[in-house]
Structure 1
Amino acid sequence: MWNTDTMMCALFRTIAETGLAPDMGLPLDFVPVDYTAEAIVHIVTHQEPDGRVYHITNPHDARLPLLVERLVAMGYPVRTMPYDAWSGMLADLTAQLPDHPMAPYVAMFVEPAHDSDVTVKQMYTDGTFPTFGRHNTAAALADSGLVCPPVDAELLDTYLREFRRTGYLAPPPEKH
């Protein structure tokens, strides 16, 4: 289950509907909620509260090209294009359709970050996006038996099938 009122869900839908994806290595660091809940419960019931930080991230994340691959495998005719052309398309799309799911997020893709020369897009690419240390989390969960499923084809297909089942994603166009 996903809260579909998020930027990532809107991005999934926009790529599927337009058939266009930005050619970028946007991280897909998805952590299923059941794993997150079990990890939190385990940590708070097995660790002394001493101020340590526990980043619950996926140790096996993926990048946006895998989402494109999975959409294509499901029959969506998606192709990548240079980021600047894609963000221009996104700005035009949301200007024409102000109720579009990506409308609240379009500024993140086209404007610089506050008090910075770096765009938000640049902040979310490999080499710029912060890496959160998982040492405390890994140590705290070592004896738990919990395993965070990797962001792979199987996980993305599960999410995409659920989006289709619920109607959040329309089925791919029929091939003629």
Structure 2
Amino acid sequence: MKKLTQQEQKYLLESIRNIPDFPKKGILFKDITTLLNNKEALNFLLKHLQAYYKDKNLDFIAGIESRGFIFASMLCAKLSLPFVPIRKANKLPFETLSCKYELEYGTDSIEIHKDAFRGIKKAKVLLVDDLIATGGTALASYELIKKAGGECVEAFFLLNLKDLKGYLKLKELTSVYSVLEI
């Protein structure tokens, strides 16, 4: 399981556009659409992730709405694994399990289908999202995977906003891998 070199990380980071003061003043938004629109950089990332996860004996990959869906589904295709969506409340059509989590101002809720892991006990699940900041959504997603009978064996994020320390909370529960540390 080779991690990327600093030069390879720099290559990917340079394919991501920075948008100052979005969505509000003082925030430097990392726009991944430019990475998704760069076939060389995207293929490089996917080949790396395929090699990194091919021997992890995963049963499912769960993606967090919405940008996590993109990376999770592409990785599912590369690894021939089923995709499990973790969505905002009232978006999934079948019976769901839900988990509330704290936001800066208030709470939110996410859901997973009760039968997401098709009855496989302790299904090995990789949790995927584009970035981790404070960790609220990722921690709630971890809890949902457990509630549905799965075992979150690792969480993957393209970007880790280290100063916000969300990854530290998640790291107490499962392995965490980020390609890029910001």
Q: Does TM-score exceed 0.5, indicating one fold?
A: no
- With normalisation by structure 1, the TM-score equals 0.24
- The structure that is helix-richer by fraction is 1
Q: Looking at both structures, which has the greater relative contact order when contacts are Cα pairs under 8 Å and sequence separation is at least 6?
A: 1
- With normalisation by structure 2, the TM-score equals 0.24
- The structure that is strand-richer by fraction is 2
> Rg bigger for which structure?
1
